[in-house]
Amino acid sequence: MAASLWMCRLRPRGLKGALKSLENGCITPQSKHSNSSAAVRSEVDQRKDQTDTTAERKPFYVLQEERLEQAERSVLINCPPKTNEKKFLKHLSSHGEINTCFFYESFGTYAVVEFSKKESIASLQDGTIIPSIQHEATVPFKSRLVSLKLNNPDDLSSVSSSIQCLRQSAIPINELVQKLSSADTIDQQLYTLTETYQLTEDNVRLRFLVCSLLKDIAAAYFPECTVKLFGSSVNGFGKLGCDLDMFLDLDGISGRNSKKTAGPFTLEYQMKRVSSERAATQKILSVIGECIDQFGPGCVGVQKILNARCPLVRFAHQPSGFQCDLTANNRIAIKSSELLYLYGSLDARVRALVFTVRCWARAHAITSSIPGAWITNFSLTMMVIFFLQKRDPPIIPTLDQLKGLAGASDKQLIEGHDCTFVSNISRINTTENTETLEQLLKEFFEFYGNFKPSVLNNMIHITEGKEQSKPDISPLHIQNPFEQLLNVSKNVNQTQLERFVSLARDSAWILQQDGMSHPLGAGAQPWGLAALLLPSASQTGGKGKKRRKREPASERIKSLLESLKNSKPNSVNGNGKRNFSTQSH
């Protein structure tokens, strides 16, 4: 499609009937309480709602600032398991008006409490005591992670039998498969998967709160620093339970943007000098990592991984249950997150397809939480984006087209890389493409299932939305959108790529079979997407796996075929409905 099709068309769009559940990449309290039939809306409605909401979506950086400010007014409180919620809130409101409060479980019961004003935090901290512990000592670092103690444990009026704890983790895959099996269409299945797995409103709040707690620790050294979130916590593609990618931003301090003062003199700070930007980043992260380890309440298993391409400190934040990666000097990664957020905001099908492909890849161990030669979620997302750019007409614009729509304030050069692209979503035209998610899912698997050696000589390039010749011999080359000399899938080896291609081919084939596009029975029989998510033997691991690397998928197909064959006339049950094998292989 010609670039001009995406060109600027500023137009007013109303707020009516906004689909809150897909807004800003997380569900809101409204949709959280909706029942499942309401949650599974018709594709047409969803597409329409999506069209209505894009204009109301705030630019990425505005949303981040709002969330961070919200987090600065919040505290995390470890509560006794049967805290009386009413009394608890009454007690806390002596420090000021409370905006929101919710409870969750993670090695204990916790409450996230957001006050209306930041002064309430100072008041609460003023009234918080340092614990006196026998035989041990404490490091007196005052944070916004506190514990609620009952002054009189025998006072039964301070306890109640039930606090409603909100879930912060994704449902197991077998429950998801069941849920998907009761949908009516493959499109509904993809939307249901997205709604089930995406980050909830309270999970996003908790993520920003942990980020803000980290900032308090880093501020002990660098009072003007900020800690920002990037990656799937904010790019709209985060699944409940995904890691927390943080970035220590010292730009406010480093004087990158400072101007010389007028007059005859300028004062400058005396600072230690190091050999490179990378060395400075390593030193800063080393010190902050030490602080997190020594003083950070709830932070455990701190590892300083300073020699990585992107140095980082990795740790677990026990009170939230998040696995955290803290980096520094990583502004390009934030731009990548903003770009993905923008793509996910343009059309509801983008997020639905990315969530689905990520889930499918995880179910078949194409991706892994352990670093290695596997395809990463980030690479998979780029593959989906590339595929959607290549549809006819395209569903999303290329990065070059987004650059063409950028305004003066969008111009950004980071470390010599042009990271300019439009931030105002309403400047981007909606697509004319009306393909269903079912079609797109099938085509996605066909597209990548047909990755042939000749195609493999090409690299995936979302800047132009078309293949280009690979500059190296790595099996899969996905060009980093902003650091164009980097390959985001450099880690992927031939075996892993072949597994991906082979599974994509098998999945395309499965979806073409009779009975795969619609539910055939009243029971929770896996069909469509649900059938594609059935765990394969490849995950059972064990010896001999290498020799039989294509066997698991073929076995699964064999079984599905069997069940399809068996479900033909003679296996139609009493209700006129067919049966499928639900066994995993």
* Residue ranges that bind ligand GTP, judged by CB under 6 A: 230-232, 235, 238, 242-243, 245, 333, 336-337, 376-378, 480, 483, 486, 488
- Strand, helix or coil at 283? helix
CA-wise closest residue to 337 among 8, 64, 39, 18: 64
Shortest approach of Mg ion to residue 334 CB, angstroms? Answer: 13
Alpha helices in 370-420 (DSSP H): 377-389, 399-404
Shortest approach of ligand GTP to residue 71 CB, angstroms? Answer: 19
User: What's the rounded Cα separation, in Å, for the pair 317 and 217?
Assistant: 13
Note whether 323 binds Mg ion by CB under 5 A: no
| Residue 563 token pair | 């069940």
Q: Which residue, 323 or 429, has its beta carbon nearer to Mg ion? A: 323
Q: Which residue, 49 or 245, has its beta carbon nearer to Mg ion? A: 245
Q: How far is CA 151 from the centre of its chain?
A: 41
- The mark string for 132-171 relative to Mg ion (x by CB under 5 A, - otherwise) is ----------------------------------------
Q: 243, 400, 464, 467: which one contacts Mg ion (CB under 5 A)? A: 243
293 interface partner picked from Mg ion, ligand GTP, none, CB below 5 to 8 A per type:
none
| Residue 507 token pair | 């999945």
336 interface partner picked from Mg ion, ligand GTP, none, CB below 5 to 8 A per type:
ligand GTP
Vertex 33 angle, CA 349 and 29, to 5°? 75
By CB atoms closer than 10 A (0-12, 13-18, 19+), residue 202 is buried
- Strand, helix or coil at 443? helix
Piece of the chain touching Mg ion by CB under 5 A; list 171-179, 244-252, 306-314, 557-565: 244-252
Note whether 187 binds Mg ion by CB under 5 A: no
- The mark string for 203-232 relative to Mg ion (x by CB under 5 A, - otherwise) is ----------------------------xx
337 interface partner picked from Mg ion, ligand GTP, none, CB below 5 to 8 A per type:
ligand GTP
Shortest approach of Mg ion to residue 381 CB, angstroms? Answer: 11
Residue pair 393/432 in contact by the 8 Å Cβ criterion: yes
**Position with the least CB separation from ligand GTP:** 231
Alpha helices in 494-542 (DSSP H): 494-512, 529-532
Shortest approach of Mg ion to residue 543 CB, angstroms? Answer: 32
> Whose structure tokens read 């998040």?
322
Shortest approach of ligand GTP to residue 484 CB, angstroms? Answer: 10
| Residue 16 token pair | 């009516």
Shortest approach of Mg ion to residue 160 CB, angstroms? Answer: 37
CA-wise closest residue to 480 among 378, 366, 400: 378
User: What's the rounded Cα separation, in Å, for the pair 454 and 32?
Assistant: 47
Interface residue list for Mg ion (CB under 5 A):
231-232, 243, 245
